[in-house]
A and B are shown apart, each in its own frame.
Chain A
Amino acid sequence: MVVAALLTTIAGGCLLAARRLLRAQWPSRGPHVAVVAWQALGLAWGISTIGALLAFGLAPYGQGVLHGLTALAQDAAANGLRLDVLSEGRFAATQVAALVAAVGLTLVLLWGLAISFIQVVRTRRRHRALLELVAHDHPELPGTRVLDHPAAAAYCLPGVLNPQIVISAGALEVLDRRELAAVLAHEHAHLRQRHDLVLLPFSSLKRAFPRIRFMERCYNAVALLIEMCADDHARRHHSPRELATALVRFGTAGGTTVPAGAMAVIPNEQQPEVLARVSRLLNPVELSRRASATVLTGSASLMAATLTLWHLPL
C-alpha cells in the first residue's frame, strides 16, 4: 500500500509539474532540455498511474507491483480464474476494479500509440506517392522537392529510407538565398533528429484522451519546443535574423489575393507561436548550465523513482 500511495503521489505530481511547465518561461530558453522534461513527465505519469492501480489491486499478494504481477500469473496458472486469493475472500471489489482500470488504461495508451502510428504512416505514404507525381526537383538544391503552389510552405517528410524536404513555389518567391538556406537547415534538423518520433507519444496521448483539452495543450507546447530546437540548430550555421525574417515572410506571404470577407474565418491561433519563435531568435537568451543540469537531474530522478517503486516488494 505504501507503493500505491507513493506512485499516486508521483502521478499527481507529474500533472502539477506539467501544468507549471505549460506556463513557465524558461522552456523557450532551453528547448532541448524542456523536451526531455516533457518526455520524462509523460512517461513517468503513465507508468506511475498504471503502477498505482496495480499496486492497489495486487495488495492481497503483498508483494508490490512487479512481483505482485508474477504472483497473480502463478496463481492464475495454478487455479485458473478461481484465484486462490479470490476464494479466500481477500480481494475486495475495489481492488478488482483497480486491476481492470490498470489494464484498461494500458490498452487505451497502447491503442492511441498504434492509431497515431498507423495514421502517420498512411498520411506519409499517400503524401509521398503524390509528391512523386506532381513535385519537381529544385534545380540547384539536390534533394529538395518543389511544389507549384503560390502559398508559402516548407516542410519535411520524415522517414528512414527516403526523408524529403519540400518547399512551395510561393516560398521560393518570398525568400532570398540565405533565408532559404536557413529554412532548409531548420528542416534538416527535424529530419536528422527525428523530431516526428519525439512528438508521436504526445500526439497519441492526445488521441487517447480526445476530450481533455489539457492533453492538447501539452501536445502544442511540445510541438512548439521542437520547432525551437530546429531553429536553434539552424542558427548555428545561419544568422538568426535571416531565419526570423523567413518566419515573418511566411506569415505574411500571399495575403493579397484574398477576397474581402474571408478574413478571420479561421482564428489564427498559431500567430503567438510564430511571434515567440521570432522574438527568441532576435533576442537569444540561453538557459544557464545550472538550470539545465537541475532539470535533467530532476527528470532522471523522476524516472528512477518511478521504476524503483515498480520493483519494490511492498
Chain B
Amino acid sequence: MKTRLGDLERAVMDVLWEQTEPMTVREVGRALADRDLAHTTVMTVLDRLAKKGVVRRTRDGRAWRYRPAASRETFISEMMLDALGQTGDRDAALAAFVRSMSGPEAEVLRRLLAENHGETGRSRM
C-alpha cells in the first residue's frame, strides 16, 4: 500500500512539474487518466503532498489549484546541499562519502538554489 501511494505521489508530481499553470484535482486526474484514479484518491495524494510541503495550493473559486513548491532541480539541489553538509546544520546526519566538495562548486550549487527560491517567491506574490 505504501509503495503504491509513493508511486502515485511521484506520478502526480511529474504531472505538476510538466505544467506551467497550477492544476485542479480534476485536471491532475485527467492527466493520469490511464491509471483510472478516483477523484478522492487524487485529492488524498495532493493533500499528502501539500502536508509534506512539496506542493502549494491556492483557492480558485470553489476549487483548489495545486502547483509544485519548487522545481525538481531545486529539490535536487537542496538535497545535495543537505548531503554535502553545506546547509545550516552540518550535522544533519546524512553521512556523506566526502562531507564537502570544493568551495566553488558549493557556491554554484548555493547560487542555483537561491535563484530558484527567488523565482518561486516572486510568482507567489
Instruction: Report the contact-size class of chain A (Cβ under 8 Å from the partner).
Output: 35 or more
B83 touches A153 (CB 8 A): yes
Question: In the complex, are the beta carbons of B80 and A149 less than 8 A apart?
Answer: yes
A-chain residues with CB within 8 Å of residue B6 when the two chains form the complex? 132
Task: Tell whether A266 pairs with B93 under 8 Å between CB atoms, given A127-B79, A166-B83.
Answer: no
Residues A134 and B95 in contact, CB atoms below 8 Å apart: no
Asked whether any CB of chain A lies closer than 8 Å to the CB of B103, the reply is yes
B18-26, B28-36, B105-113, B115-123 - the one binding chain A: B105-113
Instruction: Tell me if B39 is interfacial: C-beta within 8 Å of chain A.
Output: no
Which of chain A's residues have a CB closer than 8 A to the CB of B79? Answer: 127, 130-131, 134, 147, 166
B-side contacts of A92, CB under 8 Å: none
Q: Does B114 contact A (CB under 8 A)?
A: no
Bound state CA distance, A6 and B13, in angstroms?
62
Contact bitstring A146-172, B, C-beta under 8 A = 1, else 0 = 011101111111100000001010000
Q: Check A119/B83 contact, CB under 8 A, given A134-B76, A157-B94, A263-B104.
A: no
Chain A nearest Cβ from B16, distance in angstroms = 10
Q: Is the interface of A mostly helix, strand, loop or mixed?
A: helix
Residue of A nearest to B12 (CB): A133
Asked if A274 and B98 make an inter-chain contact with CB atoms under 8 angstroms apart, the answer reads yes
B94:A268 contact, CB within 8 angstroms: no
Q: Which residues of chain B (54-86) have a CB below 8 Å from chain A?
A: 54, 72, 75-80, 82-84
Residues on B with C-beta less than 8 A from A129 are 52, 54
Q: Give bound CA distance, A186 to B98, whole Å.
A: 11
Per-position contact with B for A256-274: 1 when CB-CB < 8 Å, else 0?
0111001111111110011
For A169, give the chain B residue with the smallest CB separation: B76
Q: In whole angstroms, how far apart are the Cα atoms of A263 and B107 in the complex?
A: 9
Report which of A147, A195, A263, A269 forms a contact with B95, defined as CB distance below 8 A. Answer: A195
Interface flag for A199 (CB, 8 Å): yes
Partner among A133, A151, A196, A265 whose Cβ is within 8 Å of the Cβ of B54: A133
A120 near B54 with CB under 8 A, answer no
- How does the 8 Å CB contact mask read for A265-300 relative to B, with 1 for contact and 0 for none? 111111001100000000000000000000000000
A224 nearest in chain B by CB position:
B99
B37 within 8 A of A: no
A258 to B104, CA, bound (A): 6
- List chain A residues, Cβ under 8 A from B38: none
Q: How far is the CA of A51 from the CA of B77 in the complex (A)?
A: 47
Contact B92 A187, beta carbon cutoff 8 Å:
no
Q: Are A154 and B97 in contact (CB under 8 A)?
A: yes
Chain B residue nearest to A132 (CB atoms) is B6
Question: Which A residues touch B104, using CB under 8 A?
Answer: 255, 258, 262-265
Residue contact A187 to B54, C-beta cutoff 8 Å? no
Which B residues are in CB contact (< 8 Å) with A246?
97
- Could you list some 5 contacts between A and B, CB below 8 A? A133-B54, A155-B84, A155-B96, A259-B108, A262-B107
* Chain A to chain B: the 9 pairs with minimum beta-carbon distance, closest first: A203-B91, A266-B103, A155-B96, A154-B97, A258-B104, A155-B83, A270-B100, A123-B92, A120-B93
